[in-house]
Chain A
Amino acid sequence: MDYAIQVKDLNKSYGSNQALVNISLSVRRGELVSLLGPNGAGKTTLVKHLYCELKPEVGRINVLGGNPCRSKIKRMLGVVPQESEPYDDLSVFENIYYAARIRGIGRREAKVYTEETIESLDLREYRNKYVMDLSGGLKRRTLVGMAIVHRPEVLILDEPTTGLDPLARRQLWDILKNLKKEGRAILLTTHYVEEAEVLSDRVYFINKKIISEGTPSDLRTRFSYYYEVIDYTSGKAYKVKEEELKEFISKLNGKFEVRIPSLEDVYIEMISHA
């Protein structure tokens, strides 16, 4: 199997607080994987290991077949760290251009790459604007530009849509979908269930340890201990266990609907039990 990211038995403690417990996960090339977990679940701590801001105390990490601390591997990585901001006193163009240059790309090539990136992210009309004058959504888009300008094979985004308004969030989703189409491996962390569901090929539920893993629909069915039955006559919704479903429905007269729970329900269920 051709893996872009492989993590094996990763553990990390901050003093007496163990943030990560035996984490193992993988992302294949061309795959978009989400790490879904509440605040404090250890998502950022995990992600920081993938570009060597933190080094593993226990466990092994392999990115594109190598150690992510090597600069050769870092060259093939693009990262949008959590709550990051571009440089306020540089323009959109300059932020993206220097993100290419500091990775060792020469002037002329960096210019071409930057113009292409600006085009593909629809940032043309903001090209020469200073970042401090931009909205949150445009700042985030500039950050994505800084992460992809050197055409990395792996893209890592730590809560890229947190704090964005719904429109800006959807615009960023479209950008991520396009980047995935180009064949990149993408790892995304989020605490929005909807986001993980819409974008990912696979989801890891994480809360210090990996609680569960699967495609969004896998997870939904695996955790459907109960069905949601909506009785249109009374307008009430019921949670019904699978073995009691037939009997329950037979008692209803009039129209009804049976649903398996949403990923959101599964998520709430899971983090409240973990």
Chain B
Amino acid sequence: MLKELSSLIEMFLKESRAWFIAIFFYAIVFPLAIVFGFSFVVSKNFAIFLVSGTITFQVAITSLTSVAQSLGMDRDRGRLSFMISTGIPAWGYAIASSFVNNLMGIVSGYMILAVASFLGLITINYMEGFFLLVSLIIGTYTGSMFGLAMTAKIRNWRLLSQLALVFGFGFSFFAPVYFPLSYIPKYLIPLVYLEPTTYISQAIRLSMVANPSFILWNLYALLYGMVFMALASKWGLS
């Protein structure tokens, strides 16, 4: 399976030539601009949220939104059927199809870090940089599986494409991504725990400060991703 999936990734890398401008903008230019722009108005105590929040935002867009949109389009054009006929599972297709964006996303995560430390917003060393990589990979998986489940459930691809954007942005700004979880009013807590970005953002922020509980949040994120992978399978995409 690994051989087949890596061939698929190679194919998507070739295909991404055509989408380079959009990928480059959303994964690199846009998040850097957010961090740079808001660095002048954010207080020192919250600088970490600006950085970890933007990395989370960028993970949400490049995994959840991009997987649902491209998978929906590929299903519409019969390519998902073709892939299934070759033996590539839908989840493998989802992960491979987000790989290029995610590769950019991971590069982007580190560029954001570099810019943030250049601006004096945070300080970070190799160990934290490695913890962050773990969180980025797991966050990407979680977001991709949410996108896969959405694709399985919503068969109308115009609707799917719109909702993928709404969820990608919604989960980044209507969740404790740019601010602490403790700021959420009690009665909204259950709702917040339904959002994948809650887990992803905690894992990313805590790994950046080498707080060991980042492992726990990553486990939650992984579990969340597996639940949505199972849901996708139940809804016909496995």
- Give chain A's interface residues, CB within 8 Å of chain B: 48, 51-54, 71, 74-75, 77-85, 87-90, 94, 98-99, 101-104, 143, 146-147, 156
Contact = CB atoms under 8 A, between A and B. Distances in A.
Contacts of A143: 82
B182 interface: no
Contacts of A53: 81, 84-85
Contacts of B17: 89
Contacts of A48: 81
B87 interface: yes
A83 B11 contact: no
A71 B89 CA distance: 10
Given A102-B7, A104-B3, A52 B82 contact: no
Contact of B79 (A52, A74, A87, A104): A87
A213 B14 CA distance: 46
27 contacts: A48-B81, A74-B85, A74-B87, A78-B85, A79-B85, A81-B81, A81-B82, A83-B77, A83-B78, A84-B77, A84-B81, A84-B82, A85-B79, A90-B11, A94-B14, A101-B7, A101-B10, A101-B11, A102-B4, A102-B7, A102-B8, A102-B11, A102-B86, A102-B88, A103-B4, A103-B86, A103-B87
Given A90-B15, A103-B87, A82 B78 contact: yes
B86 to A, nearest CB: 5
B18 interface: yes
Nearest to A91: B14
A51 B84 CA distance: 8
B83 interface: yes
A143 B77 CA distance: 12
A85 B11 contact: no
A102 B79 contact: no
Contacts, number: 76
Contact of A81 (B4, B18, B85): B85
B164 to A, nearest CB: 20
Interface string B81-102: 1111111100000000000000
Contacts of B78: 81-85
A101 B4 CA distance: 7
A98 B10 contact: yes
A94 B82 contact: no
Nearest to B77: A85
Contacts of A79: 81-82, 85
B14 A51 contact: no
Contacts of A147: 82
A71 B81 contact: no
A122 B24 CA distance: 38
B200 to A, nearest CB: 29
Given A83-B78, A84-B82, 5 more contacts: A48-B81, A52-B84, A79-B81, A87-B79, A102-B83
B11 A75 contact: no
Contacts of B86: 74, 99, 102-103
B91 to A, nearest CB: 14
Interface string B9-21: 0110011011100
Given A98-B10, A104-B4, A87 B15 contact: yes
Given A85-B77, A104-B3, A146 B82 contact: yes
B81 to A, nearest CB: 4
Nearest 6 Cβ contacts at the A-B interface:
A84-B78, A79-B85, A81-B81, A101-B7, A89-B18, A71-B87
Interface in B63-116: 77-79, 81-88
Contacts of A88: 18
A86 to B, nearest CB: 8
A82 to B, nearest CB: 6
- Give the interface centre of B8, B19, B87 by most chain A CB atoms within 10 Å: B87
A143 B147 CA distance: 27
A252 to B, nearest CB: 53
A89 B10 contact: no
A74 B82 CA distance: 11
Contacts of B15: 87, 89-90
Interface in B1-41: 3-4, 7-8, 10-11, 14-15, 17-19
Contacts of B84: 51-53
